[in-house]
Structure 1
Amino acid sequence: MSRKGEMFAGLTVALVTPFRDGQIDESALRGLVDHHVEVGTNCVSPCGTTGESPTLSHEEHERVIAIVCEQAKGRIKVMAGTGSNSTAEAVRLTKKAADAGADGALLVAPYYNKPMQEGFYRHYATIAESVDIPLVVYNIPGRTAKNIEPDTICRLAEIPSIVAVKESTGSMDQASQILSGSNLTVLSGDDSLTLPLLAMGGSGVVSVAGNIVPKDILGMLEAWNKGDIAAAQKSHHKLFPLCRDMLSLATNPIPLKAAMQLLGRDTGEVRLPLTPLEDGQIANLRKTLSDYGLL
């Protein structure tokens, strides 16, 4: 089956938002975009969970997306995070991202207010009616407090501009139901589940670990696409401890920013209510990075 969101197949990196002394480090952000162009990352996604969107002001949120689109200059796709638990706000942010030149928008399920399934449907349908860029549904019930059920996602697939889903439920059954019941492109929202999802018909990943090891994730995807299953499995098992640490040591993106600081790629700053890793956690992370060969 041909899937309608294949323009987002491959590796999308969920970009961190670099901070310096509490402010967005615009120079560092531009450098991140350039880095991903150079290594061959397929797409970058600013202002998602990893980009600490909950603590960006509306002005900062728009500015980060504008900087990333401007720096990308058509050299790399941009899937801008523009979700909100207010439909009107999601429409506004998505329109701004479209105006800035984003190739698509990543829209997290409305969080906290826990809509009914019909509310989820109408939320995304309203955004789709308001903008002309491709939309990616981001389903992460561990953060939003409610699952967008597979039947609802398959119903959303009937809307032409809704092209893909970032699948972060951790449920292979849910992913299977979406893949068999729709022509949406399914992207893994969990680095450690990328290979299993590819085996079921998924097309790629929106990756946290891709901030650190984009070439290795691209290598795994390439091996799978060439039919070299053994090489893909080898990559998966090498990546697994790193992917595990990014999510298990503390809430994303705390461990990721700590890792980037250890590797000299970020200040490590996160905004409250997120707090830095403790010394013992940093020691564990340092060992994982060292075992991987990064330190």
Structure 2
Amino acid sequence: MQRRVNGAITALITPFRDDTIDTVGLMTHVEWQLLSGVDGLLACSLTDEGPVLTEPERSRIIDICVELAEGQVPVIVATGTNDTATTIAQTRQARKLGAAAAFVTLPYYSKPSQKGLVHHFEQLADNTDLPLIIHNLPAHTAIDLASATIARLAEIPTIIGIADGSGDIARIGTWRPLLPERIGLYSTHDASALAFIIAGGRGSFSSAANIVPRLFHSMQLSAGCDHLAAARLIDDRLRPLFKALAREPGPATVKHALSLMTGMSCEVRLPLTGVEAETDSAIQTAVASLQPDCHSHALSPSTFGLGL
């Protein structure tokens, strides 16, 4: 039976040192997320700098996540590109490496028609058997899902979710009646994640969870159990962090926060660059306000039983 994807899913970062994946740092970070109770791991997404990872790097990251998760939580892999054939190939590879689902962004730059979007996902479903979560992120792709397209995509049996990064909570009310129960709605917008869950969302793919996995999971869990007062208190505490991280592109700000907390390298790959001074100040203030909730565990590779 297909395992349902729920709750707080961390959109992981990839730590680099000298333009090479810091394998020990990645293993330590993934284990911290798991020990903190997150409900899933998203690998190779925009937060993970997926577009600039080589195929061997993608495989290594997926391998580490799958082996450390040990089936306790689903490992979802971002496989979407602006080319249908490449998307199919990356989705097949994710399936081979043990991913539970593929996270597929709408084809960027090409700006296909709504008809083209449907055919893109039909081809993907016809050529792979991995469950699919569609990622709608208009700010990055310059296209948006129309309601009629949502209804057509709902007919594809391997689609199990739609993740939206627009921050528009009203979409839940518009889209939910068009979707069968098997298709969950997810947020990829941290600042509106709580409102999204309250409105009927099934979970959130979160960049901020890299920094505060336990708090973010607690907020999602509280909201899911209708403990809304507790969830709102946590959300209020996290708002300065959400605001600071949103000042510049996600990987750079998240890595900067982690470097302040744990000493992890804040290196990013071009065309991304490190954060500006004002963003650094905002992140420092936000992180300081959350201590001791945002801290890392001192773990070594031997803890994991993994070879390097």
TM-score normalised to the size of structure 1?
0.94
Q: Which residue of 2 aligns with 1:33?
A: 30
Of stretches 102-111 and 180-189 in structure 1, the one that deviates more from structure 2 is 180-189
* Pick aligned residue for 1:122 from 119, 123, 147: 119
Q: Which residue of 2 aligns with 1:148?
A: 145
Deviation string for 1:35-80 (max 9, x for gaps)? 2221111110010010011211233223322332233221321000
On the 8 A contact 1:6/1:203 being kept in 2, the answer is: no
Q: Which residue of 1 aligns with 2:297?
A: none
User: Which amino acid is 1:220 matched to?
Assistant: M
CA distance in 2, matches of 1:36, 1:285: 20
TM-score normalised to the size of structure 2?
0.90
- Secondary structure of 1:51's counterpart equals coil
* Pick aligned residue for 1:286 from 284, 287, 290: 284
Q: Which residue of 1 aligns with 2:302?
A: none
On the 8 A contact 2:197/2:224 being kept in 1, the answer is: no
On the 8 A contact 1:66/1:97 being kept in 2, the answer is: no
Of stretches 258-267 and 67-76 in structure 1, the one that deviates more from structure 2 is 67-76
CA distance in 2, matches of 1:291, 1:231: 18
Q: Which residue of 1 aligns with 2:300?
A: none
* Pick aligned residue for 1:167 from 164, 168, 174: 164
Q: Which residue of 2 aligns with 1:267?
A: 265
On the 8 A contact 1:62/1:93 being kept in 2, the answer is: no
Q: Which residue of 1 aligns with 2:202?
A: 203
- Secondary structure of 1:59's counterpart equals helix
Q: Which residue of 2 aligns with 1:92?
A: 89
CA distance in 2, matches of 1:69, 1:228: 32
On the 8 A contact 1:5/1:163 being kept in 2, the answer is: no
Question: 1:19 aligned to 2:23?
Answer: no
CA distance in 1, matches of 2:28, 2:291: 23
Q: 1:120 to 1:72 in 2, by over 3 A?
A: same
What are the ranges of 5 or more consecutive residues in structure 1 without an aligned counterpart? none
- Secondary structure of 2:262's counterpart equals coil
Q: Which residue of 1 aligns with 2:234?
A: 235
CA distance in 1, matches of 2:152, 2:7: 24
Question: 1:131 aligned to 2:128?
Answer: yes
On the 8 A contact 2:150/2:178 being kept in 1, the answer is: no
* Pick aligned residue for 1:181 from 165, 178, 182: 178
Moved runs in structure 1, 4+ residues, more than 3 A?
A: none
Q: Which residue of 2 aligns with 1:252?
A: 250
- Secondary structure of 1:102's counterpart equals coil
On the 8 A contact 1:5/1:185 being kept in 2, the answer is: no
Q: Which residue of 2 aligns with 1:220?
A: 219
Q: Which residue of 2 aligns with 1:158?
A: 155
CA distance in 1, matches of 2:175, 2:77: 23
- Secondary structure of 1:263's counterpart equals helix
Q: 1:12 to 1:265 in 2, by over 3 A?
A: farther
User: Which amino acid is 1:279 matched to?
Assistant: A
What are the ranges of 5 or more consecutive residues in structure 2 without an aligned counterpart? 295-308
- Secondary structure of 2:250's counterpart equals coil
Q: 1:214 to 1:119 in 2, by over 3 A?
A: same
- Secondary structure of 1:7's counterpart equals coil
On the 8 A contact 1:246/1:253 being kept in 2, the answer is: no
